[in-house]
Amino acid sequence: MNNKIFSRISCRRLILLIVTAFVVLQTAVFGGQIIGALALHHQANDRVYERILLDSFYLDVGNDALSTSVNEQDLRSYIHSLNADLREQRLPVRVLSIQDVHNTYDFNADYSHPIIKSFTSSEQHVTIHLANLPLLTYLHFNLPSLVVSIFLGLALYRTKRSEKSTSPSKRAPKPLTPILIVNLEEKTLINNIDNKVVNLQNKPFCFYAALLQYCINHPNSTLSHQQDIPNELSALCNRVFSRLIELGHTKRKRPDFNANLDKTLSEIRSALDELYIGQPTLKEKYYPPRAQGEGSRSKQHSFALRNLKASDIEITHT
């Protein structure tokens, strides 16, 4: 009889030890998951804010001083494209609106807790609304906590202490994703794989920075060196040139980006040949195609960049 009572008490103590250890460990895991989620949200929000800030000189956000209104269609398309990139990168943040232009393409009710950020671009105050996943979505049951609790309870119950030191496994660093960095502050192109840097003159630099953005916005466009460039591309070129003036790179008058187009493209190709020397596969998506053949074949040639995405480039001011 006494043995049965002792056995029951011992079993209850063992269960209590295991349950207590599990509650403590699982609580610690929940705390770590919440801290990790907050850090992830902060990092993701900063990345999106910096991305929009860098892209702002391409965006038509209106100008109060000039009494120009916001291009809502352009902003909605940009928000949709940016959210698609965030979804592909599995970042827990979405752009709800820019300048009160709301995202109506892919609104997800799971994202909540709106965050408001703002900055001033070209004398225009720009307001951004972001949204993150609720923190509760990061709380998950941790099976290792239960297993450790069982072993810990048994160890305490048997009054045996054992310590097992394990060195955390180091994850192999992920290979870098090739990105072409356009540095407006230094007026350079940078290969992020080997950090090689090349400089360009003002005209080809402005034209290429604008060409990258134009081809991202118009992936199926055709650009002929025998015709004037589209008005949108010309406007982008002028915006980049104005930015170079603000940064003190030039005081000359705005060049004619339609003049000597072949020479401009040749200078761009030469810079890319130097930037991606020994890396021809990385260069392909950034390289304006050369004309193939002569006569009628060359007249149909397009120097537009194909298969270029917003995630393939980075515009930076520093």
pLDDT digits (tens, 9 = 90+) for 179-197: 899 998 888 999 988 889 9
- Distance CA(241)–CA(255), nearest Å, equals 9
- Distance CA(258)–CA(264), nearest Å, equals 9
- Distance CA(11)–CA(182), nearest Å, equals 67
Beta bridge partners of 313: 180
pLDDT digits (tens, 9 = 90+) for 85-144: 888 888 888 888 887 787 765 555 566 667 777 777 666 788 888 888 777 776 666 666
Q: Give the pLDDT confidence score for residue 201 in this predicted structure.
A: 92
List the structure tokens of 313: 């480039």
Q: Give Rg (Cα) of the chain.
A: 28
Strand bridging mode 93-98 / 124-132: antiparallel
Q: Give the pLDDT confidence score for residue 270 in this predicted structure.
A: 94
pLDDT digits (tens, 9 = 90+) for 34-89: 787 788 888 888 888 888 888 877 777 776 666 667 778 888 888 888 888 888 88
Q: Tell me the CA distances in angstroms from 289 to 224, 228, 294, 301, 317, one per residue in order.
A: 11, 17, 15, 8, 28
List the structure tokens of 93: 């943040």
- Distance CA(315)–CA(54), nearest Å, equals 6
* pLDDT tier, 167 (very low <50, low <70, confident <90, very high otherwise): very low
- Work out whether the CA dihedral 318, 287, 77, 254 comes out positive or negative: positive
Asked if residue 268 has pLDDT above 90, the reply is yes
List the structure tokens of 36: 């990790």
Q: Which residue has the tokens 């239960």?
A: 146
Q: Give the pLDDT confidence score for residue 236 in this predicted structure.
A: 93
Q: Give the pLDDT confidence score for residue 197 in this predicted structure.
A: 92
Asked if residue 3 has pLDDT above 60, the reply is no
CB 221, CB 191: distance < 8 Å: no
Asked if residue 160 has pLDDT above 50, the reply is no
* pLDDT tier, 269 (very low <50, low <70, confident <90, very high otherwise): very high
Q: Give the pLDDT confidence score for residue 87 in this predicted structure.
A: 86
CB 149, CB 25: distance < 8 Å: yes
List the structure tokens of 134: 């609720």
CA angle 313, 316, 318 (to 5 degrees): 145
Q: Which residue has the tokens 């398309």?
A: 77
- Distance CA(36)–CA(30), nearest Å, equals 10
Asked if residue 156 has pLDDT above 90, the reply is no
Q: Give the pLDDT confidence score for residue 318 in this predicted structure.
A: 53
* pLDDT tier, 2 (very low <50, low <70, confident <90, very high otherwise): very low
List the structure tokens of 303: 């120097």
Name the more confident of 27 and 161: 27
